[in-house]
Amino acid sequence: MIDKFRQDLHGHLDAVPDGATVAVGGFGASGRPDALLNALCDLGKTELHLYVNNVGEDFKGVGRLLREGRLRRLTASFPILPEFYEEYFAGRVEFELVPQGTLAERMRAGGAGIAAFYTPSGAGTMLSDGEFALSYRDGHPHTRVEPKETRDFDGRPHVLERGIRADVALVKGHRGDRKGNIRFRRSARNFNPLAGMCGRLTFVEVEEIVDVDVLDPDDIHLPGVFVDHVVMTAEAVPATAHIVRTVPADPRDTTIPTAEEMR
């Protein structure tokens, strides 16, 4: 019988090696798999390369991994947490900055067996021309993200982006059944199904486990074929979910635009 429910999360998650690539769902605290991220941290996993849209605004979840020095590299579109940038500029973590839609599409492509694709997003910018600093040393850019191949289609430049296949994926769902079928709730869905698709080993924490005949087959957001392990977390949705912490403007230079003007 297929039964993907697990009691012993640590036992199963311990299969993740140090240095692993990890795809993580969530958009800030919304749909962030905190129980799985905490377990990864508790297990002492380190040198991780995370693919996640943002670090978040606190030291939970990805922020905790960052604070405890577990990250080797972050691939993200909008890290937010100021302490992440301190680590980046100090040369303690690498940073691959990608457009948000490109990150989502790369996860889906990797999960879908699409090796690479051409997107117009980021063409002609420093995110594709090899200018962006992957790492810092002694306060200066040390290595750069590789320039991306560019090619015209229909008269417009497109950049070649690779699919992401991660060693492990961490997903936060709403409901799940023993076959690993998952539903998400509202905008907590976001990157979660895509992270789940691209993991070689996919863990899902859910708020509710349900019998195998409860979810309508027409309404499964992430089919069980993508899912290896399902755990139930009693942890409530974080109270900070809707607290926005913005990057403070530098008071020394009034020509610098406010965070509001930037997006």
CB of 48 to other proteins, least distance (A): 20
53 makes contact with other proteins (CB under 8 A): yes
Tokens of 188: 């907590």
257 makes contact with a second copy (CB under 8 A): no
Please state, in angstroms and as integers, the Cα–Cα distance from residue 189 to each residue in 91, 143, 146, following that order: 33, 34, 31
Name the binder of 234 from a second copy, other proteins, none, CB < 5-8 A by kind: none
Tokens of 32: 């962030």
- The interface region with other proteins, picked from 9-17, 34-42, 143-151, 255-263 by CB under 8 A, is 255-263
CB of 155 to a second copy, least distance (A): 11
Using CB under 8 A as the binding rule, the residues of this chain from 80 to 139 that contact a second copy are 105, 109, 112-120
Name the binder of 116 from other proteins, a second copy, none, CB < 5-8 A by kind: a second copy
Which member of 218, 253, 260, 261 binds a second copy (CB under 8 A)? 218
Give long-range contacts, CB 8 A cutoff, 24+ apart: 11-14.
Answer: 12/203, 12/229, 13/39, 13/40, 13/43, 13/203, 14/43
With the CA atoms of 215, 219, 223 and 229 taken in that order, what torsion angle do they form, in degrees rounded to the nearest 10?
Answer: -40
155 makes contact with a second copy (CB under 8 A): no
36 vs 80 by CB, closer to other proteins: 80
154 vs 211 by CB, closer to a second copy: 154
- β pairing state of 199-209 and 166-176: parallel
Indicate the helix (H) or strand (E) that contains 175: strand 166-176
Q: Alpha-carbon distance 24 to 21, whole Å?
A: 10
Which member of 154, 211, 250, 261 binds a second copy (CB under 8 A)? 154
105 makes contact with other proteins (CB under 8 A): yes
